[in-house]
Amino acid sequence: MILAMIGMIRKSRYFLFLFIYSLSSTAWAQKVPPLSLKQAVDSALKASPMYLTSKNQFETSSLEVKNAFAAFLPSLDLSSSHGVRGLNPDRAGTTAKTPAVSTATLALTENLYDNGESFKKNQIAKYRYELAKVNYQKTKGQIIRSVLLAYYRYNIALQNLRFTTKNYQELERLAKLVSNQFHQGMKTRKDYLGFSTRAQRGRLNVIEAEKNLTLARAALITEIGLGPTTDIQFDESIKPLVPKKDMIVDIDPNTLYESQALDLQQKISEHEVSLARRKFWPELNLVASATYGSSDYVDTKQTWKDNESTQWSVLANIKFNLIDWGVRSRNIQIAALNQNTSEQTAKNTLLQAQKDLEVFKKEVADSKERYQLAKELQKMEEDAFKLLERDYRSGQTTYLELITGLANLLDAQSRGQEADFNQADLYLRWKYYKGILSEDTIYE
């Protein structure tokens, strides 16, 4: 009886193991859905150090604006001290009363005027916030564009590999056929060598296409911030997004991110220099305060009310440093030099952006004709190859004409793919310059 029960337990454990194994096998067998464009962009934004840095700077500038505005608001401070003290010799008789110390004060303070320093700092904080926002939007647009282009390039490399492989398989089939006919004395050695070399070139093209696909995949994985050994599938149905209508390049150079950044940087620098200059002249502060508190109410015969007091004051303070050994003067010069350095850096970036914009306008002007020619060539070569295949099957055309047509078709398909990619690149740059490239517009 006992042996039978042990056997049943062993069998049940065995079937339980098979059941768990089947579930795990089913789970592993399920295919992971391919990564969409939106997911690729989200992954890149989460992993990009450049984007995270600009985002942190943007969030930091937002907090700095709030801190700068808080300088205009009154402050309320509660302070208290409790302990013991001693004095030797006790001339005033303090320790004879009690060694305990107890004070509590509630103070309300408002700086009514501080020579305009708080106002300047508030303006600087606002401009820094706007500058951080511009840089954040610029960085975000650049990363989204890079990810989309890398995705498009990967799919184009994949399609090119398929075209090249198909071309090579056909060349290899014809080379074997001609080789058999050459050994049977039906073809010349010239024909045999010609078809063999074409097949070898086809194989070299396949190797090159495989290399390009590997590089495109590695570039895409790098763009989205994943490891090189990550096992991930990409959506092969995604094609480069080309504009449905003509792109109207009505972009004002003053609306470029770089132009906005230069304008904001100039305002920041001007305020910083002005703030440094204010230190060179007498400083006037108007401070209002009100305090309420009491003292010596612990371990004494006195209560809180015995020593409580309320005070208020409105004081105008004037401060002027007569000798600072040239510190303030040098601070003004430092602020002016920093202003010039920042502006020159921003101007250099703007000049490059304006140059890129002019090149972009020229490319857009020529893109329509180039795109139409490439697509028409692809369509005509596809139709021509279909006719060649039909004639070849009916014996009306030669091997050489078929191979030549196949090579022309492959070249036209490559040109058509490259035209799609270039058009998509121009479209993404157009959206970037217009400031409308975001996660929500990648399919539009």
Tell me, what's the pLDDT at 211?
Answer: 95
State pLDDT tens for residues 66-81: 999 998 889 999 999 8
Q: Do residues 307 and 295 make contact, with C-beta atoms less than 8 angstroms apart?
A: yes
Whole-number pLDDT of residue 30: 45
Would you call 171 helix, strand, or coil by DSSP? Answer: helix
What does the alpha-carbon distance between residue 356 and residue 350 come to, in Å, rounded to a whole number? 10
- DSSP structure class, residue 99: S
Q: What does the pLDDT read at residue 23?
A: 41
Q: What angle do CA 49, 52, 56 make, to 5 degrees?
A: 135
pLDDT on residue 54: 93
Neighbours of 43 (CB within 10 A): 18
What is the model's pLDDT at position 305?
A: 85
Q: What is the pTM of this model?
A: 0.80
132-145 pLDDT, tens digit each: 999 999 999 999 99
Chain CA centroid to CA 289, Å: 48
For 63, other C-beta atoms within 10 Å of its C-beta total 11
| Per-residue model confidence (pLDDT) at position 2 | 47
Q: Where are the beta strands (DSSP E) in 300-411?
A: 309-319
Report how far residue 199's alpha carbon sits from residue 219's, in angstroms, rounded to the nearest whole number.
30
pLDDT confidence of residue 28: 37
One digit per residue, the tens of pLDDT, for the chain of length 444 reads 444 444 554 445 444 444 444 444 433 334 568 888 899 999 999 988 999 999 999 999 999 999 999 988 899 999 998 888 776 665 555 444 567 788 889 898 988 888 888 899 999 999 999 999 999 999 999 999 999 999 999 999 999 999 899 888 888 888 888 888 888 888 788 878 888 888 898 899 999 999 999 999 999 998 998 776 677 889 888 888 888 777 778 888 888 999 999 999 999 999 888 888 888 788 888 888 999 998 888 877 788 888 888 998 888 888 888 888 888 888 888 888 988 998 899 999 999 999 999 999 998 888 888 889 999 998 998 898 888 888 877 878 877 788 888 888 888 988 998 999 999 999 999 999 988 888 888 887
